[in-house]
Chain A
Amino acid sequence: MAFWIDLLSFVLLVGGGVFVLIGGIGVLRMPDLYTRMHATGLTDTMGTLLVLGGVMLQAGLSLATIKLAAIAIFLLLTGPTASYALSNAALLSGLRPKAEWLEPGSDR
């Protein structure tokens, strides 16, 4: 039983790490603010949630798990809200998504 819990938490932690890595690569590679925020969204939600899930399995049924769950709920609420507020502020201040400028039917 302990082995399977360890294995599951290992899978979750590695999965979270992969999502954070993909988010980091995305921020470097994406062309403009909106697509970059799409990449950091992965880090904010999937990355942290998977890592927190993995740590929760390691902590077992204890006070630490409840605290981690509270952190997860907090991040689940605030992360997307912050992303929304950021993109909305960028749009209102006049920053246009780059994708609009591509010609329809262009091969890029």
Chain B
Amino acid sequence: MTVLFGIFLLTLLVITAVGIVRSENLFAAVMLSGIFSLLMAANFFILDAADVALTEAAVGAGISTVLLLGALALTPIQERRNRAGRWVALGVVTVTTLMVVYATFEKPRLGDPQAPVHQHVAPWYLEQTPELVGIPNVVTAVLGTFRGYDTLGEVIVVLTAGVGVLFLLGLPGAVGHRKREELASGRSYLGHHLIPQVVGQLLIPFILLFALYVQFHGEYGPGGGFQAGAIFAAGFILYALIAGEREALTIISPRFLMVLMAGGALLYGGVGILCLLLGGSFLDYSVLASDPRTGQQWGILAIELGVGISVAGVLLAIYHAFAARGR
């Protein structure tokens, strides 16, 4: 049954991808890419990767679509015709496809216990997590403590992306020469529609509550800082759509957004430094409390909070950078 679902979803995925490539209307392409992410999330879910599915749904289908739409407000809606270099592109795609198809010949069957991925470090993580960390969700343990360096790197990548976008587009009131007061007050995308306004105001508290649940429940179920940050940003983007850009930037000021962006990453790095000062090694949370396992759990909570703050700050800053410019 799972195989049937998988074939169905992957077929839809290929159809969507072809649709994205063939579509000359960029708006339709953005919508299709949102559908692509949603199908991808469903695929991850039937492969039992609930954490990845949640991330893909929140970031890929949710925030990315909104950011691409924001970027589309600055560009023409039709793709420019470009006939040059089509044969080169076709050649590159063909060669890459053949290489990927060739690589699948040696691929182990799905779920094969003899596959290298199940023989390498994965069994060690599964065995040691209850003993060393003591939390039920092994994914969070791997992400937060065993592979803490990688996750720190990911947060820095997110932060760098945000800084890059802000350098290019500016954020009124924080980066660039435009003042926040110049944004027209009261103008908003949905401001004059009563029904979306009422329903949106009804939903925003629950969206933020759900973000907090995903943030702090990551040790027990699917979730964590990346997903929670994206959901939190989605809640505030909804508020910006309803109440207007200027009102949203009054609640979370552009300067405070900068503080959030950098502060999350700093909190993550600071936990690492604290571990060093307490006599452990960098990002080894065992020294944070008298019991090593409690220390690990505190450390994971703290760094996940840092990830969530940083991701929410970066996504909101990028959204506002696009939305404030598109008028």
Residues of A with Cβ closer than 8 Å to B? 74, 77-78, 81, 84-85, 88
Contact = CB atoms under 8 A, between A and B. Distances in A.
A74 B190 CA distance: 19
A78, A81, A88: which has the most chain B beta carbons within 10 Å?
A81
10 contacts: A74-B203, A78-B199, A78-B203, A81-B195, A81-B199, A81-B200, A84-B196, A85-B193, A85-B195, A85-B196
A85 B203 CA distance: 16
B176 to A, nearest CB: 30
Contacts of B193: 84-85, 88
Contacts of B199: 77-78, 81
A14 B203 CA distance: 31
B202 interface: yes
Interface string B194-208: 011001101100000
A90 to B, nearest CB: 13
A35 to B, nearest CB: 20
A81 B196 CA distance: 6
A71 to B, nearest CB: 12
Interface of B: 190, 193, 195-196, 199-200, 202-203
Nearest to A73: B206
A81 B193 CA distance: 10
B196 A77 contact: no
Given A84-B195, A84-B196, A85-B196, A77 B190 contact: no
A49 B247 CA distance: 36
Contacts of B190: 85
A70 to B, nearest CB: 9
A84 B192 CA distance: 13
Closest 7 CB pairs of A and B: A81-B199, A85-B196, A84-B195, A77-B199, A81-B196, A81-B195, A88-B193
A85 B190 CA distance: 8
A74 B204 CA distance: 12
Contacts of A77: 199, 202-203
Contacts of B200: 81
A49 B87 CA distance: 49
A77 B201 CA distance: 12
Contacts of A78: 199, 203
Nearest to B190: A85
Nearest to A70: B206
Nearest to A88: B193
A68 to B, nearest CB: 16
Contacts of A88: 193
A89 to B, nearest CB: 9
B167 to A, nearest CB: 32
